[in-house]
Structure 1
Amino acid sequence: MKQFFNNKRMIVLLISVILFISTIAFSISRNRENTSIPQLFVNDMAGFTTNILSKPAETVTKFVDSVDNLLNTYEENQTLKQKIDELDEMQARVYTLEQENMTLKEEIELQSVLSDYERTSATVIARNPDNWLEQIIIDKGSEDGIEVNMSVMSGNGLVGRVSEVSPTTAKVLLMSTANESVNRFSAEIQTADKPVHGIVDGYDNQNGLMIMSEIDPDLEIEAGSKVVTSGLGGVSPSSLLIGTVKEVRMDEYGLFQEVTIEPSGNLKDVRFVTVILRKSEEANE
């Protein structure tokens, strides 16, 4: 009896499989009338195999695409960084040109003020960081009429004096130099009553101010008064602007007055200069 039921189950299972296959075959045969069942079986197996193999291929393709996108992103990033660097360089260049333009405008104004003098313009070509406030080198020399002790101006004021000359270049010692043998300028303060004479012989590096000493203690001096060269020293011509009075005080010995002067020329940023050759009337003579 038990064997009968077992055989019955096998028969039912076999009939079910046959019906299932027949249904599939009938369905396929309706859609693909000219294709045999074995061929359809082979096609299905091929499609199944293709699906299995296509997954790794798709994975590899996606990986390659990802690497390619990464490389493209890297290249674009490098290009953008280069453009940013170029933009920074351009901005720095524009700033430099703007500063030079402002300096040249000051030089043009200075040229109109110095109409009474024979002069020549020059460009600063060297400035040692170790002695920044000591000296500069300009691109004009003896071939251009430059001589030792000629006064040098920049911006709107006096900045120094020529100390050495070669055929094509010259060294200029600035008024801010610590060299006491060359940083002394005979000067006068323009007041309402009469000029007040003294010597510009010092520089306050911390505050960027010049110091004028040996001034009569009884004379009254107001802040804001113009300070110019007096021409009494026999080296610098007269009436070259040095700066304006900032503060008036007694010196450490209490014997003379001394004043601090706001320089009209920018001693810390000298790019272009004007060298005073001589008075125009002297040149005419």
Structure 2
Amino acid sequence: MKRRGPRILLIVGVTVALLVTFILTALPGTTRSRIGDFFGRVFDPVTSVFQGGVDAVGSYFSAVSENRSLKTRLRELEEEGANLRLQITRDKDKVEAFEELKDALHLITHFEDTSITSAAILNREFGPGFDLFRVKAGRKDGISVSGNQTCPVVDQNIALIGRIHSTELSSSKVMPILHEAFSVSARVEGTYRSSFRVRGDLVLRQKGLCIADNIAEGTPINIGDKLITSGEGGVYPEGILIGEVVDVRTDAQGKMITCVVKPAVNLDDLRYVFVLMESADES
């Protein structure tokens, strides 16, 4: 025989539920309210906790969704920032190239019969002795030295930096004006008196200075005078700014023997130099 226990229990349960419903329906309103209040006090906290859990879960998923949106927006902003930095770098390079070209054009108008090559400085540190430094231009750019023949090196303001010391295929070494082996024929700007020599000095170069000597007696030189190349010797074109006289030294009889000169060029701030070469038509 089949077991009828579970079926009977189900029938009894349904019957009891119907009976309870009928009894509650038959009760007066006040009694129903009291019973409802009783069950409400029992189940309301459970309902509140359940509703709070539902709200918390909803808030969590909402926060997760917002966090994903923020991460996506953050990635977009980072990409925009990277593109902006790249554009700024490119624009900066264009500006520097334009300034270099403008400086070269200015030099070309000043030295019409001279070939000019611009070069970036490769080693930025000159060292305490201001020794030779290397620039990015060499024999393939037409720069060459031999014997007493060399090439002057100036900045964009036509101030003398030094001369080419030696060349390689793609680079050259420059001897700066402060080097003790450097010398150039000079005169006071605005005058055509006898020329004299400006050269590097082992002691003065530590202070960023050089010296003028071989000055003929009676040559008027005063503190504050500007010195330029005289053009004598055929290496340095006339009119290149050398520097300013900052001290005049005399002997026991009061005769001037040397001058201390502060170069016009600031070697520490250099990024580009310009090499002056003989034009192809003249060579």
Q: Which residue of 2 aligns with 1:197?
A: 196
Instruction: Give the drift of 1:26.
Output: 9.5
Amino acid corresponding to residue 129 of structure 1 in structure 2: E
Unaligned 5+ runs, structure 2? 1-22, 34-38
Relative distance call for 1:22 and 1:195 in structure 2 (3 A) is farther
Counterpart of 1:22 in structure 2: which amino acid? P
Pairing partner for 2:137 from 137, 140, 143:
140
Matched, 1:184 2:183: yes
2:119 equivalent in structure 1: 123
Deviations along 1:27-83, whole A, 9 cap, x unmatched? 9xxxxxxxxxxxxxx9xx999966542221211222343354456546655655665
Counterpart of 1:221 in structure 2 is: 221
Q: Which amino acid aligns with 1:260?
A: V
TM-score (normalizing by structure 1):
0.64
CA separation of 1:93 and 1:131: change in aligned 2, threshold 3 A: farther
Q: Residues 73-222 of structure 1 correspond to what in structure 2 (within 5 A)?
A: 73=70, 76=73, 80=77, 94=91, 97-117=94-114, 119-124=115-120, 126-129=122-125, 131=127, 133-148=130-145, 149-155=150-156, 156-177=158-179, 180-181=180-181, 183-192=182-191, 194-202=193-201, 208-216=208-216, 218-222=218-222
In structure 2, distance between residues paired with 1:99 and 1:207: 30
The one-letter amino acid paired with 2:175 is: L
1:114 Cα deviation from its structure 2 partner? 0.9
Which letter maps to 1:60? V
Distance in 2 between residues matched to 1:165 and 1:174, nearest whole Å: 15
Checking the alignment, whether the CA contact within 8 Å between 1:152 and 1:274 is kept in structure 2 is: yes
Please report the RMSD computed on the Cα atoms of aligned residues, expressed in angstroms: 4.5
Alpha carbons 1:201, 1:213 under 8 Å: kept: no
Counterpart of 2:29, as a letter, is T
Check conservation: 2:120, 2:136, Cα contact below 8 A: yes
Measured in 2, the distance between the counterparts of 1:59 and 1:168 equals: 70
Counterpart AA for 2:164: V
Q: 1:147 to 1:210 in 2, by over 3 A?
A: same
Mark the CA change 1:207 to 1:76 in structure 2 (over 3 Å): closer, same or farther: farther
Aligned to 1:268, the other structure's residue is in SS state: helix
CA positional deviation for 1:159: 1.2
User: For residues 130 and 243 of structure 1, what CA distance do their matches in structure 2 show?
Assistant: 19
Deviation at 1:164, TM superposition (A): 1.8
Q: Is the 8 A contact 1:127 1:135 kept in 2?
A: no
Note the C-alpha offset of 1:123.
2.0
Task: Give the match's secondary structure for 2:104.
Answer: helix
Residue 39 of structure 1: aligned partner: none
Letter of the 1:113 counterpart? H
Length, aligned pairs only: 248
Secondary structure at the counterpart of residue 256 of structure 1: strand
| CA separation of 1:191 and 1:19: change in aligned 2, threshold 3 A | closer
Alpha carbons of 1:54 and 1:19: their partners in 2 closer, same or farther (altered >3 Å)?
A: closer
Bigger strand fraction: 1
Where in structure 2 are the equivalents of 1:256-267 lying within 5 Å?
Answer: 256-263=257-264, 265-267=265-267
Q: Displacement of 1:250 after TM fit?
A: 0.9
Contact persistence 1:124–1:136 (CA under 8 A): no
> Offset at 1:239?
0.9
- Which residue identity does 1:54 align to in structure 2? Q
The 1:99–1:224 alpha-carbon spacing in structure 2 relative to 1, beyond 3 Å, is farther
Distance 1:79 1:98, change over 3 A: same
Question: Distance between the aligned counterparts of 1:142 and 1:62, measured in 2?
Answer: 73
Shift in Å at residue 219 of structure 1? 2.3
Give 1:213 shift. Answer: 3.4
Identity %: 17
Paired amino acid for 1:23: G
* 1:120–1:110 CA distance, 2 compared to 1 (3 A): closer
Return the letter of the residue paired with 2:162: G
